[in-house]
A and B are shown apart, each in its own frame.
Chain A
Amino acid sequence: MKAVLGSDSQRIKRRRTNRFVQNLKRDYLLYALLLLPMAYIAIFKYAPIYGVLMAFQDYNIFQGIGGSQWVGLDVFRFIFEQDSFYRALKNTFILNLLDLAAGFPAPIILAVLLNELRFTRFKKITQTVLYLPHFLSWIIIGGMVYLMFSSGGMANTILSGLGLGKIEFLSDKTNWLIMYVAVGIWQSAGWGTILYLAAIIGINKDLYEAADIDGSSRIRKIWHITLPGIKPTIIILLILQIGRMASIGFDRPFVMGNSLVSDYSDVISTYVYRIGIGSGDFSQATAVGLFQSVVGLLFLVSANYIAKKIGEQGIW
């Protein structure tokens, strides 16, 4: 009995190995294609993930991860005692929250209004213009903002021309926050309409006809047909944005910020840059980065979980 079982499992094993070899033989050209991309993923994506071990070491660049001393959670303890870390963390959430509160509704409103336009040609031209800022780098945008809104820029020229006083758009902290959010909306609202416009096209046209027959006003049609029609799109994009709450890009706060407003403009990404590449505290900077990655992942997973809970389609 035992012998039979043994030979059985051996045969199964052999059959499995055979199938493995056969599969390899059959698809070797496909695997060959995958070699380079997978090497890329291993080197440039997974090697840095291995590199986060630095956060648990007193990392020395000459000795590498293999030779540096392990210090457990000391680096994290040190970071969590730094006021500058909390400032960066707080600013990251504040800027993201402001972006969410002011920046999220903007493309929805714009898309609904664009959809109400009846002159196709006018609509096409405005769309082309509105999408444009999305294609400019933050360096270009930042350069334009500083040229326009610095104390000697166009905005203040006009204000003083109107007999009004100067406004410190970029060196007063509160004004800077408003500018940061406004420029963000300016850059992304137009481009953000694309998905909403596509969703609006998908709405059943009979609904509008029925509403016309009932004599509904335009506002009512927007409120009762258009907005409910794009609700799934709104929700999924909202969830995506909430999921990204803990992470922030580098270019925008780096270029828009300046030394007078760094109490508001210093965020996690610029903080990591400053302590890591600026001061060479690699372990600390890696620890902050790891902290952000983990919190970011938690946000994304929770956002996705909530999305599925409330019966919407998640992102995975």
Chain B
Amino acid sequence: MSATTTTRPPVVAARPPVPPERRTSAARFRALVTSRIGSAIAVVIAVLWTVPTVGLFVSSLRPEADIRSSGWWHVFSDPSFTLENYARVLGGSTSTNLAVYFQNSLVIAIPATLLPLGLAIMASYAFSVLRWPGRDWVFVGVFALQVVPLQMALVPLLRIFSGTEVADVLPFLSLWVAHTIFALPLAIFLLHNFMAEVPRELIEAAQIDGAGHVTVFLRVVLPLMLPAIASFAIFQFLWVWNDLLVGLTFSGGSRTVQPLTAALAAMAGDRGQEWHLLTAGAFVSMVLPLVVFFALQRYFVRGLLAGSVKG
């Protein structure tokens, strides 16, 4: 071997030469059919997963009489659209007006995302950077609380708030607190895992430079945590926005605080056949989550892979 060959980068050697095509024509035919069938199955699944939502959306834009008399697919042969349904669920008479509930959902969801996030970030600092006796045991305890289903804490937690003066002055308080409490175990667990990955040397270097815990927390740890924080914030927001159980029990059926999901569920019960209202109403409730979801899909997937799924 000459010197020139040894100095050449071993690119060719890394991959064995592709063997000549040994497959018979029958095998090739089978491979073609499998890939065709495979693609067909994928397309069928994709259609099944999309068509119901599309059907709902198309229907919400059709006149009431059309919805009653024919299926939504008739718009392709006989198109007629109206915004009347949306006008009725966003304005209109009080019994079908969902605009107020949309506002309620926002007023519930924004603090119910920020509160657990803030508390969990601080707590995960206590569990990952600070060192204290019994730390790991307390952390395991917090982690184990994820096992407790919402249902288990619902009634007694409700009792703590009911009838108090605070509940009258701040009707949303019980919803904020309930959502915060139910979010904390998972939030602390996830954010702790991310914070534990911040290099110890980085923190120690800052401390040698004279930084206290507050400075380390705000200047070193927090900036590194932003992607994880974004992931959890999206999850928590979607969770609260889409929640029915907490919204139903803690609003006590009151119109002033009830979230959109509870109002929509009631509408589905009372006006089960008024599809012009139900379709538009359902879509109003879906708009914000869908926008958040598509705009921040990257963080959403990252959060999912990190394990932020609340059972």
Question: Do A and B actually bind?
Answer: no
Interface residues of A (CB under 8 A from B): none
Interface residues of B (CB under 8 A from A): none
